[in-house]
Amino acid sequence: MSKIGFWQLIPYLLPIISYVIGKSRNRLRVPKPVRRLLENQEAIDIIVQGVEVAGAMKGKSDTEKREYVRAWAKSELYKLLGEWLPDSAVNFLIEHVIVRRKES
């Protein structure tokens, strides 16, 4: 019986190691402040209202609707939470609500 060396196992181990590394890097990591916003029902309700109003707009392009929702939601969230909220968090919340609406 021949002895199998470590170097002979590398071609079989590399795909497994690559898969494990890729899987751990591809997990969705939501920053803690955004995660708290996702749990805040008032904040989600504000975004939902904005998306519904934008969806009812006739004759507007998708870009105009997005800009409306972003500006309106940002101003309403600032009233509710203060001006610490970055634009990227507002955008994330809007996308989150839109995806949830499409799933249900």
Q: What is the pTM of this model?
A: 0.63
In our burial notation (b when 16+ CB lie closer than 10 A, e otherwise), range 86-104 reads: eeebbebbbebbbeeeeee
Query: How far apart are alpha carbons 73 and 67 in whole angstroms?
Result: 10
> Looking at the domain assignment, is residue 4 inside a domain?
no
> Looking at the domain assignment, is residue 21 inside a domain?
no
* Number of domain units in the chain: 1
Query: How far apart are alpha carbons 75 and 83 in whole angstroms?
Result: 9
The parent domain of residue 42 ranges over 32-103
> Looking at the domain assignment, is residue 5 inside a domain?
no
Vertex 72 angle, CA 70 and 77, to 5°: 90
> Looking at the domain assignment, is residue 68 inside a domain?
yes
Q: How confident is the model at residue 50 (pLDDT cuts 50, 70, 90)?
A: confident
| pLDDT tens per residue across span 63-104 | 888 888 888 888 888 888 777 778 888 888 888 888 888 876
> Looking at the domain assignment, is residue 77 inside a domain?
yes
> Looking at the domain assignment, is residue 49 inside a domain?
yes
| pLDDT tens per residue across span 8-37 | 888 888 888 888 887 776 666 667 777 788
> Looking at the domain assignment, is residue 47 inside a domain?
yes
- Count of beta carbons in the 10 Å neighbourhood of residue 1: 3
